[in-house]
Amino acid sequence: MDLPTQYRPAEVEGRLYERWVQAGLFTADPARDPSRPPFCIVIPPPNVTGSLHVGHALDHSIQDALIRRRRMQGYETLWLPGTDHAGIATQNVVERELAKEGLSRHDLGREAFVERVWRWKAESGGKILGQMRRLGDSVDWTREAFTMDEQRARAVRTIFKRLFDDGLIYRAERIINWCPRCLTALSDIEVEHAEREGELVSIRYGDGDTEIVVATTRAETMLGDTAVAVHPDDERYRHLIGKEVELPLTGRRIPIVADEHVDPSFGTGAVKVTPAHDPNDFEIGRRHSLPSITIMDERGVITAQGPFEGLDRFEARPAVVAALREQGRIVKEVRPYTHSVGHCQRCSTVVEPRVSLQWFVKVAPLAKAAGDAVRDGRVKIHPPEMAARYFEWVDNMHDWCISRQLWWGHRIPVWYGPNGETVCPGPDEEPPAGWTQDTDVLDTWFSSALWPFSTLGWPDRTPDLERFYPTSVLVTGYDILFFWVARMMMFGLYAMDGVEPFKVIALHGMVRDQYGKKMSKSFGNVVDPLEWIDRYGADATRFTLLRGANPGGDVPVAEEWAQGSRNFCNKLWNATRFALMNGAHVRGDLPAEGLSSADRWILSRLQKVIAEVDEHLEGFEFAKACETLYHFAWDEVCDWYVELSKVQLGDERAEVTRRVLGEVLDKLLRMLHPLIPFVTEELWTSLTGEETVVTAPWPAADERWIDKEAEAELESLQRLVTEVRRFRSDQGLKPGQKVAAALRFGDSPLAAHEQGIRSLLRLTVPGEGFAPTASLPVEGVTVELDTAGAIDVAAERKRLEKDLAAARKEVEQTRRKLDNADFLAKAPEAVVAKNRARLAQAEADIARLESLLAALPKA
């Protein structure tokens, strides 16, 4: 086997991935061996316009780790990929393309435009799917789905019809969030609130006895006011309730009404009421049967007759204020005034609340069921603390506005007759001839909410659906727990007769930079996972993300950390390279005889690591699993076992050592495979001669190999070696410099390791005329060294004094405890014994150190 000294991921990743896909290793078969338990994850479908960002990379690394481990454990696994059609985003992309040709979608007409979007999708959409291959995602490409493909369209038609017939979908005139740029309704969750600097203007309405001052951040909407509201208990205004005031600039007279929802402490305690342009005012208007006057068109341009007609809403605001000021009606102006403003998630335009006719899902019964599934424990949220957020959302959900005034999307399957009749045909039914279909399309989330079962073939009772529903776990960021996850829960429970769409919801956090800052383009701290894959490899990218992934927690990453992960992969590469160069193998059972205590130690440690890693991965503790494996591989296997094996490989223990080395690397690489699939595949197949590690059995801990004695012995050896290295370092002896030394073991079991110790410490056997200049007693062994010259007494004294100070502090601390009668009486026996042992050890250390100091020549 001829491996280069450095691992070059670019040379193996593409080749291995292709081989995996060609071999069908990721393809699920519901008919294969029914005794295998199913394990299924549906991918949170990325936006078809999107490309792989570091958040996806984290999400996918976690899912791939879960699915690959289950595959090795013998589950029938399915990780189902796909994309969503992203109504607004995709339409925007194609409209921008058209704009370059000087066209709008209206120039093409609806049918041609939609065709054009499909063409765009075929040519440029779904870039992310190719990028997922580079990450190593072991998804089943034969089942790739799209929220607008034929099967998913059937699912949408089917569930819409059922909800419609059950009275859970209705059409009504309501105030909704409207984007004046995208020209569509938005649901609550598509609106992002952000602090903005605006103004708070106080305006005097009415005159003389019936005047009242209202404060507003949106002066222009006063043109559509139809009332002023005060709190019923507010003494300041009680005498005005029921009276009318003149609305400035318009000459209209509007009533003063009493409403409990008015906050008397805000502003003047009196609020203007504009039912057509504010959701709270809309409610007040309904309670008091107020008229609703729309003063803007769908683009936010003032339509109210008068001098402001034709002005944009943001031009109208100062114009209205100026006109009021001229009339002496401005009482107070606070500027800047910071307040929360809703923006369109897709284009950042300030959202305009607008009264319009829209379709809604009546969520109350669905949300109740979605909450109960978690309350009853049928669906587990991990980590459990996150459940609070989930309940907060599902228990307070507003009806969901599902209609969008777009062309790209599932068109609402409702047709209108010539006399205003309405019909909702099923997926296999035709609407009556000549009737016209509703022009709106459905919110993208409506089809995404069907994802866990539409991708498995619903509404048909397919073998996939039978075998894999409910899915095993949903992996996603806590940021979309409510809007996407809650919706899948609602629709899954509804469509699948009360069976939940997934058993576990595993949440992770956001990827952040090394200072814990959110990544943002404007801040310039965004990591492109594809660049990391190019520079450090997919494995290093994945390991960096997984290493930071604590359940529900944010994941900080940095370039240096990716380098560290790359280094780790390289370390594995070189450890395996060493093993192969020395004939390591996995043939036959581990020998029961002839194992050194080093062999028994590493095998014992291996079992514990297997058990720990298993526990961590079961609990979605990826950071801990990574930490355990990293530490074992680097600090135990490479730093100690491989070094000790060098001696064993040179004597009669060579054959046994080859088998043990092979054993340790075999299991280690298998455990690492779900986390870093490429390098482990390359190394494991070389080591074992097997076809692939993808379907190799997941290691199981074997308690028979646990060996406490060997562990204690090796720990003792490590302390001995470290102590002598410390002396060498203090004395300025170069690491490679050979030093003659005599080792006096007495009755220490470390005698068996003499050659190993000499090798680790570069100590040669003393020859004629050996004259030691230093003697180190440690771990019951005396090491006498000939440092070939006078030793650095000052350095040695410094070292010994430091150790002595630490030992004295230890004595002081433990003695204080042991002198305390309460401690002796109340502390558990084990704790007392432990402290007694510590005291004895520290006292022995003091004696040893003092005698060493006394023996040092005077400076």
Site string for RNA, 463-492 (x = CB under 7 A): ----------------x--x----------
Using the rule CB under 7 A, is 816 a contact of RNA?
A: no
Gyration radius (Cα) of the chain, Å: 36
Restricted to residues 781-810, the positions that interact with RNA (CB under 7 A) are 802, 810
Distance of closest approach, residue 700 Cβ to RNA, in angstroms: 25
Dihedral sign, CA of 46, 51, 56, 57?
A: positive
Short-list 681, 697, 684, 696, CA closest to 18: 681
**Which stretch, 173-181, 287-295, 552-560, 588-596, contacts RNA (CB under 7 A)?**
552-560
CB nearer RNA, residue 407 or residue 573: 573
CB nearer RNA, residue 57 or residue 575: 575
Angstrom distance (rounded) from CA 751 to CA 552: 50
Angstrom distance (rounded) from CA 432 to CA 173: 26
CB nearer RNA, residue 292 or residue 628: 628
**Which stretch, 6-14, 149-157, 608-616, 687-695, contacts RNA (CB under 7 A)?**
6-14
Angstrom distance (rounded) from CA 646 to CA 795: 32
Restricted to residues 555-614, the positions that interact with RNA (CB under 7 A) are 556, 558, 560-561, 563-564, 566-567, 569-571, 574-575, 577-578, 581
Using the rule CB under 7 A, is 773 a contact of RNA?
A: no
| Number of residues forming the site for RNA (CB under 7 A) | 75
Three-state SS at 155: helix
Do 470 and 499 touch, CB atoms closer than 8 A? yes
Angstrom distance (rounded) from CA 249 to CA 343: 29
Give me 358's structure tokens: 């829209």
CB nearer RNA, residue 244 or residue 723: 723
Distance of closest approach, residue 710 Cβ to RNA, in angstroms: 20
Question: Residue from 149, 385, 615, 709 that binds RNA (CB under 7 A)?
Answer: 385
Three-state SS at 449: coil
Residue reference for tokens 């699948």: 496
CB nearer RNA, residue 104 or residue 820: 820
Site string for RNA, 113-152 (x = CB under 7 A): ----------------------------------------
Three-state SS at 199: strand
Using the rule CB under 7 A, is 615 a contact of RNA?
A: no
With left for phi above 0 and alpha for psi between -120 and 50, is residue 137 left, alpha or beta?
Answer: beta
Angstrom distance (rounded) from CA 70 to CA 37: 10
First-to-last C-alpha distance (Å) of the chain: 56
Using the rule CB under 7 A, is 815 a contact of RNA?
A: no
DSSP H helical segments within 240-363, as ranges? 279-287, 313-326
Angstrom distance (rounded) from CA 489 to CA 484: 9
Question: Residue from 261, 518, 744, 798 that binds RNA (CB under 7 A)?
Answer: 518
Distance of closest approach, residue 255 Cβ to RNA, in angstroms: 25
CB nearer RNA, residue 736 or residue 857: 736
CB nearer RNA, residue 234 or residue 554: 554
Question: Residue from 326, 428, 819, 822 that binds RNA (CB under 7 A)?
Answer: 822
Distance of closest approach, residue 227 Cβ to RNA, in angstroms: 20
**Which stretch, 49-57, 414-422, 519-527, 831-839, contacts RNA (CB under 7 A)?**
831-839
Using the rule CB under 7 A, is 836 a contact of RNA?
A: no
Using the rule CB under 7 A, is 619 a contact of RNA?
A: no
For Cα atoms 487, 117, 348, give the angle at the middle one, nearest 5 degrees.
Answer: 60
Distance of closest approach, residue 578 Cβ to RNA, in angstroms: 3
**Which stretch, 59-67, 238-246, 419-427, 822-830, contacts RNA (CB under 7 A)?**
822-830
Contacts of 823 (CB under 8 A, 6+ apart): 817, 832
Do 544 and 555 touch, CB atoms closer than 8 A? no
Using the rule CB under 7 A, is 734 a contact of RNA?
A: yes
Using the rule CB under 7 A, is 524 a contact of RNA?
A: no
AA letter at 651 = D
**Which stretch, 151-159, 266-274, 360-368, 820-828, contacts RNA (CB under 7 A)?**
820-828
Distance of closest approach, residue 695 Cβ to RNA, in angstroms: 27
| 3 state SS for 90-141 | HHHHHHHHHHHCCCCHHHHCHHHHHHHHHHHHHHHCCHHHHHHHHHCCCCCH
Restricted to residues 494-513, the positions that interact with RNA (CB under 7 A) are 512
Give me the count of residues in the chain: 859
Backbone angles phi, psi at 707, to 5 degrees: -140, 95
Using the rule CB under 7 A, is 732 a contact of RNA?
A: yes
Site string for RNA, 705-724 (x = CB under 7 A): -----------------x--
Containing 807, the helix (H) or strand (E) segment is: helix 793-818
CB nearer RNA, residue 471 or residue 476: 476
Using the rule CB under 7 A, is 634 a contact of RNA?
A: yes
Angstrom distance (rounded) from CA 211 to CA 55: 56
CB nearer RNA, residue 491 or residue 578: 578
CB nearer RNA, residue 420 or residue 516: 516
Contacts of 506 (CB under 8 A, 6+ apart): 62, 382, 473, 474, 475, 476, 551, 620
CB nearer RNA, residue 154 or residue 547: 547
CB nearer RNA, residue 8 or residue 287: 8
Do 245 and 228 touch, CB atoms closer than 8 A? yes
**Which stretch, 36-44, 328-336, 391-399, 685-693, contacts RNA (CB under 7 A)?**
391-399
Using the rule CB under 7 A, is 32 a contact of RNA?
A: no
Using the rule CB under 7 A, is 384 a contact of RNA?
A: no
Question: Residue from 74, 318, 553, 777 that binds RNA (CB under 7 A)?
Answer: 553
Question: Residue from 144, 199, 627, 711 that binds RNA (CB under 7 A)?
Answer: 627
Burial group, residue 767, by CB count within 10 angstroms (0-12, 13-18, 19+) = exposed
CA-based max dimension of the chain: 119
**Which stretch, 1-9, 25-33, 348-356, 701-709, contacts RNA (CB under 7 A)?**
1-9
Site string for RNA, 183-202 (x = CB under 7 A): -----xx---x---------
CB nearer RNA, residue 569 or residue 669: 569
* Residue 12: how many other CB atoms lie within 10 Å: 17
Question: Residue from 736, 767, 789, 857 that binds RNA (CB under 7 A)?
Answer: 736
Distance of closest approach, residue 770 Cβ to RNA, in angstroms: 21
Distance of closest approach, residue 198 Cβ to RNA, in angstroms: 14
CB nearer RNA, residue 140 or residue 513: 513
CB nearer RNA, residue 5 or residue 289: 5
Pairing of the two strands 227-230 and 511-512: unpaired
Distance of closest approach, residue 660 Cβ to RNA, in angstroms: 15
Angstrom distances, CA of residue 344 to CA of 66, 181, 186, 447:
35, 9, 8, 20
Question: Residue from 389, 585, 815, 848 that binds RNA (CB under 7 A)?
Answer: 389
Using the rule CB under 7 A, is 834 a contact of RNA?
A: yes
Cis status, amide bond into 766, omega within 30 of 0: no
With left for phi above 0 and alpha for psi between -120 and 50, is residue 336 left, alpha or beta?
Answer: beta
Restricted to residues 292-351, the positions that interact with RNA (CB under 7 A) are 340
Residue reference for tokens 């603390």: 385
